Amino acid sequence: MTPAARLAAAIEVVADMETRHRPVAGALKDWGLSHRFAGSKDRAAIGNIVYDTLRWRSSSAWAMGEESPRALVLGMAGRHWGMDGARLAALIDGVPHAPELLTGTERERIDTADLSTAPGHVRADIPEWLAPHFERSFGDAWIAEGVALALRPPLDLRVNRLKADRDKVMKSLGKLGAAETTFAPDGLRIAATEKDGRHPNVQVEPAFQRGLFEIQDEGSQLAALMVGAKPGEQVLDLCAGAGGKTLALAAAMENKGQILATDSDRTRLAPIFDRLKRAGTRNGQVRPAGDSLDDLDGKMDAVLIDAPCTGTGTWRRRPDAKWRLSERNLADRIAEQSALLTAAVRYLKPGGRLVYVTCSMMPDENDDRIAAFVAATEGMTPVDPKTAVERSLGAELGPRLVAASRLTAHGVMMTPATTGTDGFFVSVLERTG
């Protein structure tokens, strides 16, 4: 397929998403099934166009003066791919299966669009209703935070210390450009490419098959480290999902003690069994969804709540999610978070740690939840965020992360704009009574 034909295909996919109100993955899959002549490279390129269109949806619509699928795709291509109106028109002109030729108005808008007078939410490329939440969280930097959330993400890996060290894995992935992460001591990063934004399929690498590394964002790795799990402890991962943080905790515990993993959703939990086996984790125990945890009351040194949230911190990887998010979604997540915090206390022994994590960048799900929980719960004391970071990450890494991240009243926030990670909030509390 020609580049012009790929643009036309991307317009079709975006139109399908708009018409049928469906996630991007489903729309791309259906397009591929109905256009089997398109090769894997074509499908990947079309996917990149669609994802980039969703990243900059709001600003592209403002620049083009309309929000049609055609305007969104061509506006993104013209403004973010370094193509002026004339070059984009030349790319399309006379090419089979291309979009209709650009109008004079479209060419002019691509060349002269100025976002300096656009509303803040347009410059930040976030839904308008979220602007007050972002401003409350980040003050004058809220637009810059939104802009950073619209960029293409890197691919981060966590070296499994149970089987290998970072140097060994980095050498094995040298051809992929893997380099050490800025903060996470076991992290490796493969930068996003400007050309097509594609990441290599690292799961076919022998090192992955042997369990030497896992795919995990650097911010998620740091959040797991802030649990402060030590060899011999009893740790409960209450919202384990597919097990990314469970595996990180098991490695930090050197396979000693016990990490118990559970989740309310059996489907989310299903991949954890194969992952534990591949990683060589021997101190992990999975509690299926719905099983009683009464035998854990008062026995845990630490409980991790990787809470269900709006996922605003992951928008670099899931740009379609930000346009589907609603105030009702936010209210539902807040209710779940509050219930989990209340339920977790019973499992802690005196002096035990409760670590609350979200991949949200909104105070409603972060500091507000901790403040409400502490006010309603006796015997739970928040640890000073600076102390929590430095105590769990050490004398060298801790101060560096403190300097780069945002410390809030009750936690630490990592963001694409500050730490180069996905957006994460981590709060550490102790049971004092």
**Catalytic annotation, residues:** 359
263 is an annotated ligand-binding site residue? yes
Strand partners, 189: 156, 179
**Integer Cα distance of 291 and 190 in angstroms:** 39
| CA 230 to each of CA 344, 350, 427: distance values in angstroms, whole numbers, following the listed order | 20, 17, 18
Place of tokens 């409960």: 236
**Integer Cα distance of 252 and 190 in angstroms:** 23
Cα atoms found within 13 Å of the Cα of residue 269, Cβ hemisphere only = 17
Sheet holding 155-159, edge to edge: 179-180, 187-190, 155-159, 213-215
Q: In this structure, are residues 396 and 320 in contact, taking their beta carbons and an 8 Å threshold?
A: no
Q: In this structure, are residues 392 and 402 in contact, taking their beta carbons and an 8 Å threshold?
A: no
**What burial letters (b/e) apply to 284-302, b meaning 16+ CB within 10 Å?**
bebbeeeeeeeebeeebbb
Annotated binding residues for S-adenosyl-L-methionine, written as ranges, equal 263, 306
